Amino acid sequence: MSYLSEHRRMRPALNLARQLDIATNPAPEAIFEAGTAGFQIWCTPDDHPKGWDGVRMTQGAFSKPCEYVASIGWGWEGERITHLLVATEAGTLGQKQRLHNRAGDIAWAMRKVRWLFKQASVDCPEIRIDK
């Protein structure tokens, strides 16, 4: 294995995330934003973690109203991607709650990650919480 071969192994998932880009694709399942070493997940008024009901989401430069929820990155051991790292942030919920890595946000993001990998026909690596 090498860094290049590992990135190639993840390419189908990233390519699908690019097709389901929240900035350009208005489809309900388009809630991703791909990077080179992972992707972000956004929520919408119709698809969001528990506890986000009533959150006012803005459209801005995106294809639909949304708010940032999670970042997914590659976890490496040597030259091999062995896991994914998920970190969530619920910044729009206000300062009265724990905002980082809330259990409901993590669970929702993990379901979205597994769905994306399944749709891309790529084995989903273990998902770990990034502290």
Ranges of each domain in the chain? 3-129
Handedness of CA 19, 118, 33, 50 (dihedral sign): positive
pLDDT of 10 reads: 92
Please give the average per-residue pLDDT across 63-87, as a whole number: 94
Cα gap 8→124, rounded to integer Å: 14
- Mean local confidence (pLDDT), 77-101: 83
Reduced to 3 states (helix: H, G, I; strand: E, B; else coil), residue 111 is helix
Q: Is the pLDDT of residue 94 over 80?
A: no
Q: What is the pTM of this model?
A: 0.92
Residue 98, exposed/middle/buried by CB under 10 A (0-12, 13-18, 19+)? exposed
